[in-house]
Amino acid sequence: MTKVRRALKFSIIANHLDSLLNLIAVVIIARILTPDELGIFAIASSIVIIANSLKTFGVGNYLVKKAELGKNDIKSALGLNFIISVTLGLILALAAYPAQIFYEKDDIGLLMLILTIPFFVSPYAANGFALLTRDFRFDTIFKIGIITQASNLIMTIGLVYLGFSYYALAISMAVQSIIQTFLVRIFAPDSMEWIPRFKEMKHIAKFGFYVTFSNLFNKMNMISPDLIIGKMGTPTMVAYYSRGLGLINYIHTTLAMGIMQVALPYFTDSKKNGMSIEDAYLKSTALINGLLLPAFVVASVISKTLVLFVFGDQWTESAGLVATLCFWAFFNNIHPLVSTLLIAEDKEKHMFIVNLIFTIITVITIFIAFPSGLNAIAQAMIAVSFVYFITINVVLTVYMKFSTLKFMRSQIKNFILCLGCYAIATGITKIDLFIEATTLIQMLVFLLLMGITWISIIFMIKHPLQQEFKKVFL
């Protein structure tokens, strides 16, 4: 087994176990905390997420993709990490109570203060993970991830049951970052440097500027609804939209993140070995979309049962949002690896510009659609994501000289897979026995039948996933 396939195997396993632990936490917490409580936490955490997107300043990607990496590079990267992360932590701490006054919601200030703790301990963890990724040591990343997620799950549930409400979520996240840093100290690679260097950081910062703000704008597309709805609406409205979008993001993370973590070192390695970067992109995109796109389509069909199963009866308002947002996610993820590709090809500036433009479009769209309700916002986002898909095709054609026709041909089997899964999923939901069953039985039956359907179609149309499954897991 090649180092890429071995890394992919561990990355996928780790990601699925991580997603399972997250699901357990979500299922329990959604039944204990009210929509209003989770809405307040969503507002506070959304503000912190903005700063969180900036704190590593692209240092991790720099360490992964640099062809020749010396000790001074690693030390300078750590130094830049410290400067950016600690500064952001201090800014957030100072902004905590002004944010509480702006949103006129109690406890947002204290929640933000607790959530700033990771900014003061994360630089070592960020560098450690980047170096492990560069070396394809996803088995070690797997160990660290499972230990930290398990401890986070236990602490979160324990504190929630003890009556800490949304503070349980913030405290657990803070403690998790400390545990993660401690584990990186134990499992760090030999190339890890522990003393920061505050010289020769300019070239890292230049690379990091475009990568970081590109990621920030991408995050803003996800969290801007929480921030805008939180100001113009109520915490409960924030919670309903946030839960719906969170469920979509959970599907994406569960199915795709394991592959996406390996993508940058894979593209970089392909480039070093003189392989066609377009072929590598088409192959990896065809594989990841064979997982993602059918899942979004199927989730739109069973959105109500899915919401009731994961969150409980008090979240039925999110069901319609999930059904709509699935199609937003579909168009938004037809090019799931485009950011990674452009970073590998030193064209991160183009992704920065695209994400900036679409962040502005997203914010304006939400403001315009808000008076018509949450469903109107979700519907408007479908149009935004479709335009985003078209724009990415243009960027790849103009700046990467990729063939749009070649890309669409590589996705034909994925579109067939989506149509087949959608048809069977719709048929299942119309069966009387299925309709009359409990939510738990509906989910179990649906997952079993759709799993059989998905695998059957893959083998029938000879999808690329058929061979990849054998190579990775056999």
Could you give the CA distance from residue 97 to residue 111 in angstroms, rounded to a whole number?
10
Could you give the CA distance from residue 289 to residue 25 in angstroms, rounded to a whole number?
27
For 159-163, 429-433, 434-438, 465-469, which range has the lowest pLDDT when averaged over its residues?
465-469
Using the predicted structure, report yes or no on whether residue 288 has a pLDDT greater than 80. Answer: yes
Residues 6+ apart with CB under 8 A from 121: 177, 178, 181
Could you give the CA distance from residue 465 to residue 291 in angstroms, rounded to a whole number?
9
Q: Half-sphere exposure of 230 toward its Cβ, with a 13 Å CA cutoff?
A: 28
Residue 70's CB is within 10 A of a number of other CB atoms, namely: 10
DSSP string, 368-424: HHGGG-HHHHHHHHHHHHHHHHHHHHHHHHHHS---HHHHHHHTHHHHHHHHHHHHH
Could you give the CA distance from residue 58 to residue 224 in angstroms, rounded to a whole number?
22
Going 109 to 209 to 255 to 354, the CA torsion angle's sign is positive
213 & 288 share domain: no
Counting the structural domains of the chain, the total is 2
Using the predicted structure, report yes or no on whether residue 63 has a pLDDT greater than 70. Answer: yes
Could you give the CA distance from residue 184 to residue 191 in angstroms, rounded to a whole number?
13
pTM of the predicted model as reported, rounded to 2 decimal places: 0.71
216 & 347 share domain: no
pLDDT of residue 326: 92
- The radius of gyration of the chain's CA atoms, rounded to the nearest angstrom, is 22
Using the predicted structure, report yes or no on whether residue 225 has a pLDDT greater than 50. Answer: yes
For 58-62, 151-155, 222-226, 245-249, which range has the lowest pLDDT when averaged over its residues?
58-62
Calculate the CA 456 to chain-centre distance: 28
pLDDT class of 408 with cuts at 50, 70, 90: very high
More confident: 446 or 434: 446
Closest to 148 in 3D by CA, of 21, 13, 256, 8:
21
Closest to 131 in 3D by CA, of 78, 197, 173, 210:
78
For 385-399, 432-446, 452-466, which range has the lowest pLDDT when averaged over its residues?
432-446
195 & 239 share domain: no
Could you give the CA distance from residue 98 to residue 95 in angstroms, rounded to a whole number?
5
Span 379-391, pLDDT tens digits: 999 999 999 999 9
Mean pLDDT along residues 103-117? 86
384: its two tokens: 């935004």
For 26-35, 204-213, 370-379, which range has the lowest pLDDT when averaged over its residues?
204-213
Helix spans in 430-464 (H)? 432-436, 439-460
Q: Is residue 468 within 8 Å of 413, Cβ to Cβ?
A: no
pLDDT of residue 258: 55
221 & 323 share domain: no
For 18-27, 181-190, 314-323, which range has the lowest pLDDT when averaged over its residues?
18-27
399 & 274 share domain: yes
More confident: 461 or 9: 461
pLDDT of residue 273: 67
Using the predicted structure, report yes or no on whether residue 266 has a pLDDT greater than 70. Answer: no
pLDDT class of 8 with cuts at 50, 70, 90: low
Mean pLDDT along residues 299-312? 87
64 & 178 share domain: yes
Which of 227, 252, 283 is the last residue before a domain boundary? Answer: 227
For 257-271, 314-328, 338-352, which range has the lowest pLDDT when averaged over its residues?
257-271
Using the predicted structure, report yes or no on whether residue 331 has a pLDDT greater than 90. Answer: yes
12 vs 17, 189, 285, 358, CA distance in Å?
Answer: 9, 21, 16, 30
Closest to 381 in 3D by CA, of 420, 327, 441:
327
Place of tokens 């905390």: 33
Closest to 73 in 3D by CA, of 212, 266, 272, 208:
208
438: left (phi over 0), alpha (psi -120 to 50) or beta: beta
Using the predicted structure, report yes or no on whether residue 296 has a pLDDT greater than 90. Answer: yes
Span 353-405, pLDDT tens digits: 888 898 899 989 998 999 988 899 999 999 999 999 999 999 999 988 888 89
88 & 29 share domain: yes
Q: How many residues does the chain have?
A: 474
Closest to 173 in 3D by CA, of 159, 162, 193:
159
342 & 372 share domain: yes
Q: Which domain holds residue 181?
A: 1-227
Q: Extract long-range pairs of 302-308: CB within 8 Å, 24+ residues apart.
A: 302/425, 302/429, 302/442, 302/446, 305/439, 305/442, 305/443, 305/446, 306/247, 306/443, 307/243, 307/244, 307/247, 308/439
222 & 238 share domain: no
430: its two tokens: 């119309």
Which of 189, 212, 227 is the last residue before a domain boundary? Answer: 227
Query: For residue 117, what is the DSSP state?
Result: G
Using the predicted structure, report yes or no on whether residue 330 has a pLDDT greater than 90. Answer: yes
155 & 293 share domain: no
Using the predicted structure, report yes or no on whether residue 259 has a pLDDT greater than 70. Answer: no
Using the predicted structure, report yes or no on whether residue 286 has a pLDDT greater than 80. Answer: yes
336 & 443 share domain: yes
Angle at 249 between CA 392 and CA 33, to 5 degrees: 150
Which of 227, 261, 295 is the last residue before a domain boundary? Answer: 227
pLDDT of residue 208: 66
Using the predicted structure, report yes or no on whether residue 145 has a pLDDT greater than 50. Answer: yes
Place of tokens 């190339």: 191
195 & 339 share domain: no
DSSP string, 182-204: HHHHHH--TT---S---SS-HHH
Using the predicted structure, report yes or no on whether residue 1 has a pLDDT greater than 80. Answer: no
Angle at 302 between CA 299 and CA 305, to 5 degrees: 120
